[in-house]
Structure 1
Amino acid sequence: MKSLSTHEALIYAMVTTSAADHAMSAAEFSRIRSTLALLPCFEGFVGDVSAIAQHCVQTLSEDHGIDSILDAIDVALTPPLKETAYALAVDVAAADVSVKQEELVFLEMMEDRFEIDKLVVAAIERSARVRHRRAGL
């Protein structure tokens, strides 16, 4: 697998979460696109998100694809940006309201591989639940 830029690594984290259940919903892809437009970590990004997503999904289909992706993300990101990648992945998983088991497994893999502190994980997940709560709940 090729080395990833910082932006590509963050996008791979989101796309892999979305594709973990072998389907990328419109809501998830919309969340990825809006994230690229809104967050400071994507300032200066000029790539083709569709092409990056396609390459990521292709890599996932290869033997040991998920491990290759996690390795590439790990190399491309600093520890603080690994937390950002985890937070972005949680937001994509939450875009469909119900998080699928495959997405949870990938999130756990990220948490373990990137050695994200348990309290940080809990805070990220709690903030995602609060942000994605539906009106009337």
Structure 2
Amino acid sequence: MNDLTAHPLSPQDCLVALMIAVSASDENIRTVELVKIQSTVNHLPIFADYDDDRISGMAETVFDLLEQEDGLDALFGLLRDNLPERLHETAYALACDVAAADGTLAEAELRLLEEIRYELDLDRLHAAAIERGARARHMRA
């Protein structure tokens, strides 16, 4: 395991890790999803002081975790330990944006989003509003 998991993750690391996990969930990481993650890190205020060189390290951490039998549980453990509750809805919104970026939602992505909703203890109505916003932002002509 790389050294990023040896130290506490920043809230931004957690957001990046979650976006990468959603992208990897269908075992087909699409360019449009990677562009969405990079664009998100480059433009959202929550990432203003984030060193985007950490993205590749976070990707390595997520891939290492997902190769393990209980890797998703370990990822959620990292989120529980390092992501403040005030950012739970932000995390879900970013996860939904990455899932919607390619215009399709694979079954694996839908299952992971459901698990994320549960792990982040999001109100169902709030989650539905976040999902609807992601759909609206990524609608195609």
TM-score band (shorter)?
A: over 0.9
Who is 2:41 aligned against?
A: 36
SS of residue in 2 equivalent to 1:21: coil
Q: Percent sequence identity over matched residues?
A: 39
SS of residue in 1 equivalent to 2:139: coil
2:59 and 2:35 map into 1 onto residues whose CA distance is 12
2:27 and 2:36 map into 1 onto residues whose CA distance is 17
SS of residue in 1 equivalent to 2:129: helix
1:23 and 1:55 map into 2 onto residues whose CA distance is 17
How far is 1:51 from its partner?
2.2
Who is 2:93 aligned against?
A: 87
4+ long deviations beyond 2 Å: none
Who is 2:116 aligned against?
A: 110
Listed one character per residue, the Cα deviations across residues 5-62 of structure 1 (whole Å, up to 9, x for unaligned) are 1111000110000101112110100100000011011110014212221221111111
Aligned amino acid, residue 126 of structure 2: V
2:36 and 2:121 map into 1 onto residues whose CA distance is 25
- 1:1-137 to structure 2, matched below 5 A, reads 1-2=5-6, 3-48=8-53, 49-135=55-141
Aligned residues: 135
Distance 1:132 1:4, change over 3 A: same
